[in-house]
Chains A and B, each alone.
Chain A
Amino acid sequence: MFKKLLTNIFFLLITSNQFYPLKKACTEIFISSKDTVKYLVVKISLEKDWHIYWINSGDSGMPTEITLELPPGISIQETYWATPKKFESDGLVSYGFENITIILIKLPEYLNSITNNTLVLKINSLICKEVCIPYDTIITFQINDLDIIDDLENYLSINKIHFPKASPNLFLSADTDNEKVILKISNHNFIDKILDIYFYPYISGVFKNLSKQNFYIDNESVKLELPFDPFKTHSPDKVSGILYFKTINSYDEKKIIQESYEISFNINHKQIKE
């Protein structure tokens, strides 16, 4: 009996992470559909405390690049990224993901024409904890061989992945001086319930990457300050990115709602009215 117990414990130890630790990161791909649109679901899982970068990596690191090689004449429609989070270390702020992230690649409507083709997914990225290591992956596959995720919404929910929604009826205007942009956000339903706002720009090298962006309520709008990077590389007229809100639930003040929207706004180069 004792010998059997020892054997079982030994077997358990051998098969546990203690003896076979997880790879730092691994990628799995699936097929799913939402409404009538088919997606390649790219799931990147990371070992505890490791993170991978968003398309704008922030102060350091390297933006993650993902490409899907399709047969000639066929191109990817669009790639969708989840809302990133901030990683701060010694005053430097980066944007990325930890634990799990999912990237959706919208597939062509005429999917049947490529189901028998061999496709190649390439990921070129960097994963970091206290140190960084390259994470480059090439996956060769055929669509027909992939597992299907029946309920994509549920799958994303289980994995706690949030994608930005298309912008609701937010009114956005942005003024600038040489130091910063003030983004004015109007027509948000719960302006007085806002706990936090953060704008993640798609482009790097324009705004300072901060752990917190200052905002204030002004009449019935919110004004978000976006200071420029001291070494700003260019002065765009139009900026796109993800606007993240953290608000108190109006119906249950103990609950916090987190939501994010894809936005674009033009920058008016005139004197900021404080």
Chain B
Amino acid sequence: MKTIFILFFNFIFLTSIFSQQAKIDSKAPDFKLKDSNGNEHSLSDFSGKFVVLEWINYDCPFVKKHYDSGNMQSLQEKYTKRDVIWLAICSSAKGKQGNFSSEEINKRSKEHNAKFTAYLIDEDGKVGKMYGAKTTPHMYIIDDRGILVYAGAIDDIKSTDIKDIEKAKNYVSLALDELLDGKSVTIKSTTPYGCSVKY
């Protein structure tokens, strides 16, 4: 009887976490994932901090645009220096584009000189689906109260052309600068663009 109760409780608990949908201006759903070094991280570990979630797939042309140009890394470095937590999350399923071994992830991250706080592996896609992540990149910003305040594209020019980066309005920079200045985020959602997340 006790076993049944425990199993039932766990089912309800797990179901409620993984079926939960993120919403703007609502509490960002908590999650726990391992990073590419095998360490576990929960969103709740970073309570009181601004957090960026960056959906990633190193082989996607759009992710390549932002990494080959150094754009993503410079954003990561700029804001992690200001105590923002930057989590890259890969929801590519095993055998699909973007799914790599931990060794390969670390090798590529080093090659790119990536400056995220951690690269989290979401191989079963539960966290991606919880957040409605559709593309790579797909960007989310959570404020220091744990509220989701931005979801969408990294910038406003939908292309794979590196030359477009300097011309584009960067929504992530805009939102983080506003938050770090103690202001509310002006643009809270935009349509993401990129490769589909390979669930």
Give A contacts to B, CB under 8 Å.
57, 59-63, 89-92, 94, 124, 126, 128, 130-134, 204-205, 230-233
Q: How far is the CA of A228 from the CA of B189 in the complex (A)?
A: 13
For B24, give its contact among A59, A62, A90, A231 (CB under 8 Å).
Answer: A231
Main secondary structure of the interface of A (DSSP, over half): loop
**B47 interfacial by beta-carbon distance below 8 Å:** no
Q: Pick 22 A–B contacts, CB within 8 A, sort by A.
A: A60-B192, A60-B194, A60-B195, A62-B160, A90-B196, A92-B196, A92-B197, A94-B196, A124-B159, A126-B61, A126-B160, A130-B97, A132-B60, A132-B61, A132-B195, A133-B61, A134-B160, A204-B191, A230-B21, A231-B24, A231-B151, A233-B190
A94 neighbours in B (Cβ, 8 Å): 196
Instruction: Please provide the 10 A-B residue pairs with the shortest distance between their CB atoms, ordered closest to farther.
Output: A60-B196, A205-B191, A90-B199, A231-B189, A134-B160, A59-B134, A204-B191, A231-B151, A60-B135, A92-B196
B190 neighbours in A (Cβ, 8 Å): 205, 233
The minimal Cβ–Cβ distance linking A15 to chain B, given in whole angstroms, is: 32
**B34 interfacial by beta-carbon distance below 8 Å:** no
The minimal Cβ–Cβ distance linking A177 to chain B, given in whole angstroms, is: 16
Other contacts beyond A62-B160, A126-B160, A231-B152: 15, CB < 8 A? A57-B193, A60-B197, A61-B196, A62-B193, A89-B196, A90-B197, A92-B199, A130-B97, A131-B195, A132-B61, A205-B190, A230-B21, A231-B189, A233-B152, A233-B189
Residues of B37-52 contacting chain A, CB below 8 A = none
Give B contacts to A, CB under 8 Å.
21-24, 59-62, 96-97, 125, 129, 132, 134-135, 151-152, 158-160, 189-199
The minimal Cβ–Cβ distance linking B64 to chain A, given in whole angstroms, is: 10
Given contacts A62-B159, A126-B160, A205-B190, whether A230 and B199 have CB atoms under 8 Å apart is: no
A124 neighbours in B (Cβ, 8 Å): 159
Q: Tell me which of B60, B134, B152, B194 has the highest count of chain A C-beta atoms within 10 A of its own C-beta.
A: B134
B194 neighbours in A (Cβ, 8 Å): 60-62
A59 neighbours in B (Cβ, 8 Å): 134-135, 196
Closest to B65 in A: A134
Main secondary structure of the interface of B (DSSP, over half): loop
A62 neighbours in B (Cβ, 8 Å): 62, 158-160, 193-194
Q: How far is the CA of A54 from the CA of B159 in the complex (A)?
A: 14
The minimal Cβ–Cβ distance linking B169 to chain A, given in whole angstroms, is: 14
Q: How far is the CA of A32 from the CA of B6 in the complex (A)?
A: 71
A126 neighbours in B (Cβ, 8 Å): 61, 160
A233 neighbours in B (Cβ, 8 Å): 152, 189-191
A63 neighbours in B (Cβ, 8 Å): 158
Given contacts A91-B129, A230-B23, whether A134 and B197 have CB atoms under 8 Å apart is: no
A134 neighbours in B (Cβ, 8 Å): 61, 160
A57 neighbours in B (Cβ, 8 Å): 193
Q: How far is the CA of A61 from the CA of B134 in the complex (A)?
A: 10
Q: How far is the CA of A92 from the CA of B134 in the complex (A)?
A: 7
Q: Tell me which of A89, A94, A128, A230 has the highest count of chain B C-beta atoms within 10 A of its own C-beta.
A: A230
B151 neighbours in A (Cβ, 8 Å): 231
A61 neighbours in B (Cβ, 8 Å): 193-196
Q: Tell me which of A90, A124, A133 has the highest count of chain B C-beta atoms within 10 A of its own C-beta.
A: A90
A91 neighbours in B (Cβ, 8 Å): 129, 199
B96 neighbours in A (Cβ, 8 Å): 130
Q: How far is the CA of A233 from the CA of B171 in the complex (A)?
A: 13
Q: How far is the CA of A126 from the CA of B61 in the complex (A)?
A: 10
Q: How far is the CA of A232 from the CA of B152 in the complex (A)?
A: 10
Closest to A91 in B: B199
Q: Tell me which of B24, B60, B191, B193 has the highest count of chain A C-beta atoms within 10 A of its own C-beta.
A: B191
Q: How far is the CA of A86 from the CA of B166 in the complex (A)?
A: 33
The minimal Cβ–Cβ distance linking A91 to chain B, given in whole angstroms, is: 7
A133 neighbours in B (Cβ, 8 Å): 61
The minimal Cβ–Cβ distance linking A44 to chain B, given in whole angstroms, is: 18
**Is A230 within 8 A of B135, CB to CB?**
no
The minimal Cβ–Cβ distance linking A191 to chain B, given in whole angstroms, is: 33
**Is B132 within 8 A of A231, CB to CB?**
yes
